[in-house]
Amino acid sequence: MIHQLAITIPTDVTRCPLCGDAGGRFRRRGYYVKCPTCKVAFRPQHACDAKLDEYWQEEFWSTEEIEKRKRREPVFRQAFDVLRHHKPEAGSVLDIGCGIGTFLAVCREGGWDVTGVEPSSTACEVAKSEYGLELINAPFSPSLFEGKKFDAVFAAQVLHHLPDPAAFAADIHRVLADDGVLILRTPNSIALEPSLLMQGFLGRDNGFFCGPALYVFHPDTLSMLFNRLGFREVTFVISRPYLETPQLPWRSGQSLAPNLKRLVIAAVKLTSYGTVEIAHKLSRGRTLLGPSIFVVARKT
């Protein structure tokens, strides 16, 4: 399985793949390397593209993962609130790597014209049966949309899995209308760096962090990336955590212990989220401590 492939970090990393820094001051972060200039953590070596494609198109979409995605609708409703804040009038939205289409279903409810691209045939079938959505079953490419521009583009947990995030962002720029809004959801290295350091301390080189992620982005990295491409008003919103709903313990086959565990985890997540939101607001958006963030950028 893809998450069991061993990763070897070379000692001769000389250039950051995002900002091009060649100062040679890179620092190990588990099996990632951190650039001192743009602050991105990247994995210099990874499984071959064919293995990664197989993982995302087939292995990842287990029955358990599909059910989990259905329950994560509140996360996508927050994303839609972010979209409406920046684009009050309904228009056309493209969701790249849209999975089973939950975000698109929410947008359609709000009067948006929706289009989704998803390479997994399994996820496309679920989107059709669950939401009545006809997705484009293919990897994203601007050539799929010759002559068409979208008022908004959304991608959740996609950017950090791609070998060339800058090329992906440039392709989004090509299909986004003038004054269009790009919204991405991605892990935040500010909150996750302790986990990367802990991986190095424990000597874990036989697994993936944040799934088979090739990058973990710092907000400064993302601002640099999108400003270079001609986006403006690059802002960040802390993503609310997904909370697993406890089941009633007195139902047949249900025990109290798993529900207590869910309640404790939910309490920790809510407390952490409340704390980082307060810090974010008191700092006027400069403090971003949440483990997952929405990146919002407007095309000039």
CATH number of 2-299: 3.40.50.150
Predicted pLDDT of residue 59: 66
Three-class DSSP category at 53 = helix
Predicted pLDDT of residue 30: 76
> 0.85 cut: is pTM over it?
no
187 neighbors 210 (Cβ within 8 angstroms) = yes
Predicted pLDDT of residue 198: 72
Predicted pLDDT of residue 211: 60
Closest C-alpha among 211, 228, 236, 245 to residue 292: 236
Predicted pLDDT of residue 280: 73
* Sheet containing strand 113-117, strands side by side: 113-117, 92-96, 150-156, 176-187, 292-299, 231-238
Which residues have CB under 8 Å from 284's CB, separation 6+? none
* Residue carrying structure tokens 């959304």: 154
Q: Within 13 Å of residue 264, how many CA atoms lie on the same side as its CB?
A: 6
Pairwise CA distance, residues 95 & 153, whole Å = 6
The segments of the chain whose pLDDT lies below 70 read 1-13, 23-24, 45-59, 199-212, 243-255, 259
Predicted pLDDT of residue 64: 77
Amino acid identity, position 172: I
Predicted pLDDT of residue 5: 37
Pairwise CA distance, residues 293 & 295, whole Å = 6
State the alpha helices, DSSP H only, in the chain.
Answer: 49-54, 63-71, 73-86, 102-109, 121-131, 165-175, 189-202, 219-228, 256-282
Closest C-alpha among 63, 211, 53, 55 to residue 125: 63
